[in-house]
């Protein structure tokens, strides 16, 4: 569709109006090369116009409008979190194609984005290909200001005989900004995402303290709950410390990763090329001398870099204790807290994390398990900062345990089982740096931990799980070593499921090779409950083995499904990948093993005692428990 623009300029003191047609087929006007057209990709990728912005050759628009300006209203310098108002003024004819991008770092050359469209398929989501120029972090159309297209905010620029003969219009939009350490800039484009060209750029904005210690999050290091690891981000490479309890402190170890650490192939990956953003420095310190199931306070930082606020946190229940309360989910990601579009948005993430935050604040959560597809940064590294900011109210107060997913690890020739480009070239490096788990070494992200009456076996579905692999042998040894007198319940968890009613896209949701290799271990060692994500819905099974129901739950007096594991039958499977990513619908015909299904955002509660596991799916649609079941086991 052609867009008409009237450009005003003066000639010998008289106002002249020039009508210019902005057409997707006219490369001169906005400098777009026809060869970059995505038309050949539509129909099988579902690409949005914003995600194709990198495939444009962006040039400065030929615009003689002397009144056009972009101004930013904010705290100067920028705070660690704030809303920034961007006002574009002096616009002759407001158009729905006008938009503003947030760029970082501010010296990024948005006029020289790569041309090769194949490069952008390395984000790994072929059904909704996530693309960004290096770098809009996010973008908004000026029409998000309801008055903009109607020219509700007018200013007279030229009078003739006391009559206004030229008025210009303005519009304002608000961006949510967090401290990402590097300067940011706002750029005004026209031509939409299809034929973008640059009209004006703001001055760079700096953060007040790029070294500020931020986004602290906790994790457990063993089953005693007497030590807790705190990990945070700062622009300062010097060791800092965490101060906690009554005068205790621990120095941080400091790590980071570079562009050179990212994976790539014959085609440059997002992480190594157009999605790179400097991560700063990741600090980690272990708080020792704690007691389980207790509340402490801490702060982290240094005199030179600054200090965090004082935060109260709760240690988990020690392994072998009776009661434990866990929240679990997969596939959360993040979403903007403004009206922006971003390279990859998980629409349910904010409502889910805010609901979990309320549970944590009420004291009803001992720990959180996030089982893969953590931030969905997929090579756009600044997304990690926004994700860490999102989970901070939860992860700074209770142990936040994680499992690796395809969008953290998978990449061609990188050692992952699946050689898809789903990590965008991250290859697990940012994930393992931000979320150090109690695993044996780097790139072996499997571990186990006891909390209360439950033994958790956490695996990587993205690393080799075949029978001769190191991970397989570890799984077998771990499951065989469980002391059921201390932890009568075993929950086995990872990212990709063994069963799902959702078939998947190019790559099936279920890898039968994985099921065939690992499922016999679950049966042999009497695993009670299996939790997976990857598929973006909630689904619960019968007692399930080799694709068949080996038993069904009974109804208790209140009508609640109750699985009796006194005489072991088979594992129960639940898919809990409904925490943020766009939901997957269920087919009309499903297997007999599938007892309960919900394509709704939410999370999963686990409450364990020595005699019973109580499990609940909490739906964000109703803000209530929509599925509840128990697993019981009589004492012997």
583 pLDDT band, cuts 50/70/90, is: very high
User: What count of Cα atoms within 13 Å lies in the side-chain half-sphere of residue 473?
Assistant: 4
Residue 201: in which H helix or E strand, if any?
strand 197-201
40 pLDDT band, cuts 50/70/90, is: very low
- Answer yes or no: is pLDDT of 304 > 50: yes
**Mean pLDDT score of the chain, rounded to an integer?**
87
Asked if residue 291 lies in contact with residue 272, where contact means CB atoms within 8 angstroms, the answer is no
Tens-place pLDDT, residues 216-262: 999 999 999 999 999 999 999 999 999 999 999 999 999 999 999 99
For the segment 179-206, the average pLDDT, to the nearest whole number, is 89
pLDDT computed for residue 274 by the predictor:
74
> Residue 102 burial (CB < 10 Å; 0-12/13-18/19+)?
buried
The rounded distance, in Å, linking the Cα atoms of 92 and 6 is 7
Tens-place pLDDT, residues 88-116: 999 999 999 999 999 887 555 554 444 44
Domains and CATH numbers, the chain: 3-201 (no CATH), 214-632 (3.60.21.10)
Our separate counts of H helices and E strands in the chain read 7, 35
The rounded distance, in Å, linking the Cα atoms of 580 and 562 is 29
Tens-place pLDDT, residues 440-496: 999 999 999 999 999 999 999 999 999 999 999 999 999 999 999 999 999 999 999
Tens-place pLDDT, residues 616-634: 999 999 889 999 999 999 8
205 pLDDT band, cuts 50/70/90, is: very high
457 CB-near residues (< 8 Å, 6+ apart) = 448, 475, 478, 479, 490, 491, 492, 493, 527
- Answer yes or no: is pLDDT of 155 > 90: yes
Can you give the pTM of this predicted structure? 0.89
Residue labelled with tokens 């990590």: 423
The candidate with the shortest Cα–Cα distance to 314, out of 333, 298, 302, is 298
For the segment 57-71, the average pLDDT, to the nearest whole number, is 80
SS (HEC) of 129-160: CCCCCCCEEEEEEHHHCCCCCCCCCEEEEEEE
pLDDT computed for residue 636 by the predictor:
61
């Amino acid at each position: 569709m052609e867009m008409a623009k009237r450009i005003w300029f003066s000639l010998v003191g008289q106002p002249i109006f020039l009508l210019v047609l902005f057409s997707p087929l006219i490369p001169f006007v906005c400098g777009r090369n026809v060869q970059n057209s995505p038309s050949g990709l539509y129909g099988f990728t579902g690409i949005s116009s914003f995600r194709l912005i990198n495939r444009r050759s962006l040039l400065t628009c030929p615009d003689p409008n002397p009144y056009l300006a972009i101004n930013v209203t904010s705290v100067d310098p920028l705070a660690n979190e704030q809303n920034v108002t961007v006002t574009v003024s002096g616009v002759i004819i407001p158009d729905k194609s006008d938009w503003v991008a947030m760029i970082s770092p501010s010296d990024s050359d948005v006029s020289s984005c790569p041309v090769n469209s194949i490069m952008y398929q390395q984000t790994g989501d072929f059904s909704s290909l996530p693309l960004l120029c290096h770098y809009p972090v996010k973008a908004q159309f000026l029409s998000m200001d309801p008055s903009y297209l109607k020219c509700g905010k007018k200013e007279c620029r030229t009078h003739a005989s006391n009559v206004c003969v030229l008025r210009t219009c303005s519009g304002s939009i608000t961006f949510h900004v967090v401290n990402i350490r590097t300067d940011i800039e706002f750029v005004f484009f026209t031509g939409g995402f299809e034929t973008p060209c640059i009209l004006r750029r703001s001055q760079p904005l700096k953060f007040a303290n790029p070294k500020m210690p931020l986004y602290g999050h906790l994790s457990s290091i063993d089953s005693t709950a007497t030590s807790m690891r705190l990990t945070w981000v700062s622009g300062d490479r010097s060791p800092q410390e965490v101060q906690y309890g009554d005068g205790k402190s621990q120095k941080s170890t400091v790590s980071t990763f570079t562009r050179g650490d990212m994976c790539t192939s014959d085609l440059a990956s997002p992480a190594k090329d157009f999605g790179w953003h400097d991560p700063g420095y990741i600090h980690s310190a272990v708080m020792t001398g704690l007691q389980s199931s207790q509340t402490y306070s801490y702060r982290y930082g240094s005199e030179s870099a600054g200090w965090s606020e004082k935060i109260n946190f709760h240690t988990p229940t020690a392994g072998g204790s009776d009661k434990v309360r866990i929240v679990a989910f997969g596939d959360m990601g993040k979403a903007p807290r403004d009206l922006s579009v971003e390279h990859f948005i998980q629409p349910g993430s904010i409502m889910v994390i805010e609901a979990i935050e309320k549970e944590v604040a009420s004291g009803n959560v001992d720990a959180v398990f996030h089982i893969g597809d953590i931030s969905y940064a997929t090579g756009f590294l600044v997304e990690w900062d926004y994700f860490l900011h999102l989970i901070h109210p939860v992860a700074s107060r209770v142990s936040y345990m994680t499992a690796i997913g395809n969008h953290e690890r998978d990449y061609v020739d990188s050692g992952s089982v699946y050689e898809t480009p789903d990590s965008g070239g991250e290859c697990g490096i940012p994930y393992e740096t931000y979320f150090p788990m109690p695993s044996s070494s780097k790139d072996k992200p499997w571990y186990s931990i006891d909390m209360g009456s439950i033994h958790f076996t956490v695996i990587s579905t993205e690393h080799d799980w075949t029978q001769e692999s190191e991970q397989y042998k570890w799984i077998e040894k771990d499951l065989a070593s469980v002391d059921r007198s201390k932890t009568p319940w075993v929950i086995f968890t990872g990212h990709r499921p063994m069963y799902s009613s959702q078939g998947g896209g190019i790559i099936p949701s279920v890898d039968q090779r994985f099921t065939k290799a690992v499922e016999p271990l679950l049966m042999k060692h009497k695993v009670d409950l299996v939790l997976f994500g990857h598929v973006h819905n909630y689904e619960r099974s019968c007692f399930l083995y080799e694709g068949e129901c080996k038993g069904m739950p009974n109804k208790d007096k209140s009508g609640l499904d109750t699985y009796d594991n006194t005489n072991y039958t088979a594992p129960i499977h639940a898919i809990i990948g409904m925490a943020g990513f766009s939901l997957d619908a269920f087919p009309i015909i499903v297997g007999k093993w599938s007892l309960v299904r919900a394509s709704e955002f939410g999370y999963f509660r686990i409450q364990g005692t020595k005699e019973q596991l109580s499990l609940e799916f909490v739906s964000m649609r109703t803000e209530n428990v929509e599925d509840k079941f128990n697993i019981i086991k009589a004492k012997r």
